[in-house]
Amino acid sequence: MADQKNYITPEGHAKLEAEFHQLLKVERPEVVRVVSWAASNGDRSENGDYIYGKKRLRQIDGRLRFLMQRMDLAVIVDPAAQQGLEKVFFGAWVTLFSLKDDTEHTYRIVGQDELAPSLGYISWVSPLAKAILAKQIGDIVKVPTPAGIEEYEITNITYTQPAAANNAENLAPNLIQQ
């Protein structure tokens, strides 16, 4: 995964940066303050504030390192710059019609750090996204699912959020895999 590009939308990158700054500028200084206070109380071997504070510092530092690595590898892809395309690419909202169930499902292809199955956000490396990438409206795609191969017709592609994407009933969580 270290060699793999970290494609991400501008919104996703902003969320990573916000989390990084929250941890670095707010949470970490507060935990350092608590650990410092706890250390000044004497015996550290039975001092819960000190022990758990140090543990929390390690967790924060590990998450900060992870976020830095992900942001360093990030390749920001702005879906707005792709408007007008008739094929499915990163950042697209795609509506699929299930040939088996006669239902529609809307998904957005996003980066691995942006997954939100309840919103229909799927990773560009997921089996579903791989099946629909570079396809166009009217194409029939076969998607491997836990229940077997399912066929879908691509009925809509847009690079702006469609109104139907806000509807939780329009999502198919059984297809979402990373």
Cβ atoms within 10 Å, residue 136: 12
pLDDT exceeds 70 at position 149 = yes
Which DSSP string do the residues of 105-123 spell out, in sequence order?
Answer: EEEEEE-GGG-BGGGTEEE
The answer on 84 and 67 residing in a single domain is no
- The region, left, alpha or beta by phi > 0 then psi within -120 to 50, assigned to residue 121 is beta
> Which pair of tokens denotes residue 45?
């071997």
pLDDT at 113: 95
92 φ, ψ (degrees, to nearest 5)? -75, 145
The answer on 102 and 32 residing in a single domain is no
pLDDT at 76: 96
pLDDT at 11: 94
Last residue of a domain, one of 76, 104, 135: 76
How do residues 83-117 score in pLDDT, each as one tens digit? Answer: 668 899 999 999 999 999 999 999 999 999 999 99
CB 154 within 8 A of CB 132: yes
How do residues 124-138 score in pLDDT, each as one tens digit? Answer: 999 999 999 999 999
How do residues 45-80 score in pLDDT, each as one tens digit? Answer: 888 899 999 999 999 999 999 999 999 999 999 988
The answer on 160 and 103 residing in a single domain is yes
User: Is the C-alpha dihedral spanning 36, 42, 48, 51 positive or negative?
Assistant: positive
CB 155 within 8 A of CB 137: yes
Nearest-angstrom CA–CA distance, 111 and 119: 14
* CATH number of the domain enclosing 148: 3.10.50.30
pTM here is 0.81
The answer on 72 and 45 residing in a single domain is yes
* CATH number of the domain enclosing 54: 1.10.287.180
The conformation of residue 152, written as its DSSP 8-state character, comes to E
Residue 1 lies in a domain: no
Q: Domains in the chain: how many in total?
A: 2
The answer on 166 and 83 residing in a single domain is yes
